[in-house]
Amino acid sequence: SGAILVNSDLSGANLTGANLKGDDLTHTYAEGANFTDANLSGANLADVHLLDANFEGADLTQAQWQYTTCPDGTNSDEQGGTCCGHLSGATPSAGCD
């Protein structure tokens, strides 16, 4: 945790179980990334491209979504400022109802 991943290319990255709590991923491209069981609580996911990313079991408590491309291709701003409910069928452990 504590990483600054602004403007990174994480496309296809395997981040299974990663601790990204509170990390800044602003403007990151993470298409097809695997966030299975990752801790993304409090992470800044503003303007992150998450098309086809996997969030099964991820903790998204208080994650910040702004102009984020959700895994199902929708935009967080058009979904009430969140990608919760648009995670391509994944059920995160916390943070999304």
Q: What is the DSSP track for 40-76? A: -TT-B-TT-B-TT-B-TT-B-TT-B-SS-B-TTS-BG
pLDDT, tens only, 43-90: 999 999 999 999 999 999 999 999 999 999 999 999 999 998 999 777
Identify the band that residue 18 occupies on the pLDDT scale cut at 50, 70 and 90: very high
Q: What is the pLDDT of residue 41?
A: 93
Distance CA 56, CA 4 (A): 23
Identify the band that residue 94 occupies on the pLDDT scale cut at 50, 70 and 90: low
Model-level pTM? 0.91
